[in-house]
Chains A and B, each alone.
Chain A
Amino acid sequence: MTAAESAGRVLRSGPPPGTTYDVTVIGAGVVGAAVARELARHRGLRIALIDAANDVGEGTSKANTAILHTGFDAVPGSLESRLVREGQRLLAAYAAESGIPVEPVGALLVAWDEEQLAALPTLLDKAVRNGYREARIISPDRLRAREPHLGPGALGALDVPGESIICPWTTTLAYATQAVRGGVDLHLDCRVLRVDPSGGRHELTTSRGALRTRYLVNAAGLHADTVDRLLGHDDFTVTPRRGQLIVFDKFARGLVNHILLPVPTALGKGVLVAPTVYGNVLLGPTAEELDDKTATASTAEGIALLREKGRRILPELLDEEVTAVYAGLRAATEHDDYRVSAHKEQRYVTVGGIRSTGLTASLAIAAHVTELLTATGLDLPAARELPPVRMPNLGEASPRPYRRADLIAADPAYGTIVCHCERVTRGEIRDALAATIPPGSPDGLRRRTRARGGRCQGFHCGAQVRELYEEGGESVSG
């Protein structure tokens, strides 16, 4: 069987097929996509990955702090601690194989007062209990030598060299791409309205029609509690916790060498300053408990708070231009740990309460969920290795297409820069529009290429990018 024959479909309209899927994963975020990819390794299963949005990773997965965690600060002994630790190793290896941008910059937890300084040994001990042994407490002098632009008054830091920065968009897209190529049907714009059990299978009523499946995985992120209740469970409630973030211009990148984490307090994990793999600097997030699962707006208060915190951490950062402000919602619950549970009688697995560590843990969560599905009765054929994917490089640490003479010689479209701020070429935009999972909007194109994601936000390239999207969109739709 050729790759084309075995590949799944990507559909944004029309009723789902009348056949019954073996497994359906609700939620095409980083966790759902990872689960679908893991299941796709078992040849012969009919799998659907469905999402209410018009693209993968449109919820919590697209707006986070983009850190590949070591899990040093997890609650020791928790499911999260184990899955983050395992997931970190799995994702680091997967990123290297797939071309997902990762930069192992390391993190420094900076202590700004005596109380925070006194908390560092406890954090060091916690790291060891989480199986992480490379952390060290460093002096203010060493801290300053490593971060010369740090604001005055830092008393020391916990050095966590294993923390990295990663591209969350490419990660989700890589999983979903590999899943679809491995046979998974991806249904977008497909909101689940009702779930009815009927003779050994679930009948899902979706915004696009009926979809039948034998097994069901709920990876619906912010809406995992809602989906859980459709199946009669009331185990947790997702309380969206908004995080607003400010992205500073690429010229700020030289100001910071590590992820600068705050020392966590009773009030939360606090505001960090971190480089991004795209060469910007991120300041955030806020932590606001809300009840509206769509409240992804930034606020004047949030921006002011971040600027105040940022000025203390890295004063010169505030002199740089801001590229973007955005907000994401974390799927926090009333519980301290992930809420992953199997309901054997319903052939159903819930993957709830996956918070900001979900990106790091995603591959380990997927393996765990697959095990739970087996325990629930799913008969898994032997696993195979999926053909590797090679994702377009959005990272500044390795040469982007505009810097590659070999690529331009083979195809001059990689020498035609369309988005000047981010140096995105016509070739990259064309490739994204023709990819296995084409973008569902100009924003989706931005997350795949960075086109119009830079300092001018489209002043120069916006109209042309829109034209390319609209032309390309026509040729790939239908």
Chain B
Amino acid sequence: MRRERIVDVLIVGAGPAGLATATGLAAAGAGEVEVVDREQEAGGAARHCAHGGFGRLALTGPQYAERWVAAAVGVGAVLRTGVTVTDWPGSLTVDATSTRGLERITARAVVIATGAHERPRGARLVPGTRPAGVYTTGELQRAVHVHGQRIGTRAVVVGAEPVSFTALDTLRRAGVEVAALVTEHPRHQASRSRAAEARLRQGIPLLTDATVAELLGRGRLSGVRLRHRDGRTAYLPCDTVVFTGDFVPDHELARRAGLPLDPGTRGPAVDGAFRTAERGVFAVGNVLHAAEPARVVAREGVAAAVAVRRYLCDGDWPSASVPLRVTAPLGWVAPNRLTPDEPGDGFTLRTTEFVPHPTLAITQDGRSLYRARHRRPAVPNRPFHVPSGWVDRVDARGGAVRIALAGRADPR
């Protein structure tokens, strides 16, 4: 009853990362390259982002997604939508469900490019009732841009990072008044112009150092109770609340495959060549670091295609690797495994607090590998980068490599 098939490369997830990987591989003649996606349409989350700014040409999300779909199909990658990978029965074998029934696909290499989602209210442990009118940005964007649904009349947006301001645009398009942006941080984490536009031109207040303490209302949301860091509380009436940011990788397939996850990113641990702990299994895009912009994950896809191609040719896989760990207030680093042969293209880090001029100290077993003061501040929910020039000094048989902030000045 289960159709069995074999391909050269199976890529799970047809967002920019998966499609860029497929394009690179198919263009290089890597054999049969198949991309499957559980959605009915390829393109990933970019499809729901009506705003511009995607790629060098500043396309809209759907235009950007279309370009990658055309590129992958144009070079001969096989793209199948409405196909959900449901299980991982063997090291390079997956089970899938589609309208054509059940199938079992075995590949020489598998690339996991399953992306990420925002943590919903429950996962953020926000107390209160369970009324209608509670969204994440992802659901809001699909509701408005894809399905043209009615949202509500007055919203509170939780978060003040770039995606939060995107939610503002979507709410405005849906005719929803925004009562406030609320962030637990002391200031917003978007561009100055973006924040000023919201505050000055749209008149949307930014409430800092505040969290949503409770959702109120039966049937439909009637308001939220906010708590300031100093303990003061306030009630904001609204019928809609949008929880933005706080992305978490869609890692279920990686876990079904038994791949070790990185404790910081919660995505599969990979090295600079996107190799997971399992021979022949790669991971790329926002399943590694939720969440980076589309152009970043597409660039990763291009690099991953080179790494997968190399593996298909020489079959080499690292026998050992050193984990890369961060110390608070750093939240995570990606990639997060080090193999001596693969310095990679540098590292992306996240901080959980503002740090004006972070000095990064990278050590292994007490030995300094890298130390540098960054001119630009580290900002929560924004990436900052570390080059990979120091990786050749890592002892492949040594302990974990640690990244910490040295002598940081606390903003508070």
- Indicate which residue in B101, B117, B216, B248 contacts A405 across the interface (CB closer than 8 Å): B101
Q: Please tell me if A322 contacts chain B, counting CB pairs below 8 Å.
A: yes
Stretch in contact with the other chain, from A146-154, A201-209, A360-368, A461-469: A461-469
Q: Are B248 and A321 in contact (CB under 8 A)?
A: yes
Shortest distance between the CB of A207 and any CB in chain B (Å):
15
- With A297-B214, A415-B101 already in contact, 14 other A-B pairs whose C-beta atoms are closer than 8 Å: A247-B122, A297-B215, A297-B216, A299-B127, A303-B125, A303-B127, A325-B127, A405-B1, A442-B132, A455-B117, A459-B120, A463-B146, A466-B149, A467-B147
- Closest chain A residue, CB of each to CB of B38: A420
Chain A residues contacting B255 (CB-CB under 8 Å) are: 251
Write 12 A-B pairs (CB below 8 A) sorted by A numbering: A247-B122, A251-B255, A299-B214, A321-B248, A402-B86, A402-B97, A421-B252, A457-B123, A459-B120, A459-B138, A459-B139, A466-B149
Q: Are A297 and B139 in contact (CB under 8 A)?
A: no
Shortest distance between the CB of B70 and any CB in chain A (Å):
24
Q: Are B142 and A300 in contact (CB under 8 A)?
A: no
Most chain A beta carbons < 10 A, residue from B120, B125, B129: B120
Q: Are A403 and B127 in contact (CB under 8 A)?
A: no
Chain B residues contacting A251 (CB-CB under 8 Å) are: 252, 255
- Closest chain A residue, CB of each to CB of B82: A416
Render B127-169 as a binary contact track against A, CB cut-off 8 A, 1 for contact: 1111010011011001100110100000000000000000000
- Indicate which residue in B82, B97, B139 contacts A403 across the interface (CB closer than 8 Å): B97
Q: Please tell me if A412 contacts chain B, counting CB pairs below 8 Å.
A: yes
Shortest distance between the CB of B116 and any CB in chain A (Å):
9
Chain A residues contacting B99 (CB-CB under 8 Å) are: 408, 412-413, 415-416
Q: Please tell me if A298 contacts chain B, counting CB pairs below 8 Å.
A: yes
Q: Are B127 and A417 in contact (CB under 8 A)?
A: no
Chain A interface category by residue count: 35 or more
300-332 of chain A: CB within 8 A of chain B: 300, 302-303, 321-326
Which residues of chain A have a CB within 8 Å of any CB of chain B? 247, 251, 294, 296-300, 302-303, 321-326, 402-403, 405-406, 408-409, 412-413, 415-417, 420-421, 423, 442-443, 455-460, 462-464, 466-467
Chain B residues contacting A405 (CB-CB under 8 Å) are: 1-2, 101-102
A140 to B325 alpha-carbon distance, docked (Å): 36
A415-B100, A462-B142 are known contacts. Are A457 and B147 too (CB-CB below 8 A)?
A: no
Shortest distance between the CB of B164 and any CB in chain A (Å):
15
Q: Are A464 and B147 in contact (CB under 8 A)?
A: yes
A415-B97, A420-B84 are known contacts. Are A322 and B136 too (CB-CB below 8 A)?
A: no
Q: Please tell me if B239 contacts chain A, counting CB pairs below 8 Å.
A: no
Chain A residues contacting B117 (CB-CB under 8 Å) are: 455-456, 459-460
Most chain A beta carbons < 10 A, residue from B118, B142, B147, B216: B142
Most chain B beta carbons < 10 A, residue from A298, A406, A423: A298
Q: Please tell me if B213 contacts chain A, counting CB pairs below 8 Å.
A: yes
Chain A residues contacting B40 (CB-CB under 8 Å) are: 416
Shortest distance between the CB of B386 and any CB in chain A (Å):
27
Q: Are A323 and B122 in contact (CB under 8 A)?
A: yes
A300 to B142 alpha-carbon distance, docked (Å): 31
What is the count of residue pairs linking A and B with beta-carbon distances less than 8 angstroms? 118
Chain A residues contacting B123 (CB-CB under 8 Å) are: 321-323, 455, 457
Q: Are A324 and B122 in contact (CB under 8 A)?
A: yes
Q: Are A325 and B138 in contact (CB under 8 A)?
A: no
A458-B139, A459-B138, A467-B149 are known contacts. Are A417 and B38 too (CB-CB below 8 A)?
A: yes
A32 to B323 alpha-carbon distance, docked (Å): 58
Q: Please tell me if B5 contacts chain A, counting CB pairs below 8 Å.
A: no
Render B46-71 as a binary contact track against A, CB cut-off 8 A, 1 for contact: 00000000000000000000000000
Q: Are B146 and A297 in contact (CB under 8 A)?
A: no
219-256 of chain B: CB within 8 A of chain A: 248, 250, 252, 255
Chain A residues contacting B138 (CB-CB under 8 Å) are: 456, 459-460
Q: Are A457 and B122 in contact (CB under 8 A)?
A: yes
Q: Please tell me if B202 contacts chain A, counting CB pairs below 8 Å.
A: no
Q: Please tell me if B371 contacts chain A, counting CB pairs below 8 Å.
A: no
Chain A residues contacting B86 (CB-CB under 8 Å) are: 402-403, 423
Chain A residues contacting B213 (CB-CB under 8 Å) are: 300
A300-B213, A457-B120, A457-B121 are known contacts. Are A463 and B147 too (CB-CB below 8 A)?
A: yes
Chain B residues contacting A423 (CB-CB under 8 Å) are: 84, 86, 97
Shortest distance between the CB of B342 and any CB in chain A (Å):
29
A322-B125, A455-B123 are known contacts. Are A408 and B147 too (CB-CB below 8 A)?
A: no
Q: Are B102 and A325 in contact (CB under 8 A)?
A: no
Q: Are A302 and B127 in contact (CB under 8 A)?
A: yes
Chain A residues contacting B129 (CB-CB under 8 Å) are: 296-297
Chain B residues contacting A415 (CB-CB under 8 Å) are: 97-101
- Indicate which residue in B98, B101, B120, B128 contacts A458 across the interface (CB closer than 8 Å): B120
A405 to B86 alpha-carbon distance, docked (Å): 13
Shortest distance between the CB of A242 and any CB in chain B (Å):
12
Chain B residues contacting A297 (CB-CB under 8 Å) are: 127-129, 214-216
Q: Are A462 and B84 in contact (CB under 8 A)?
A: no
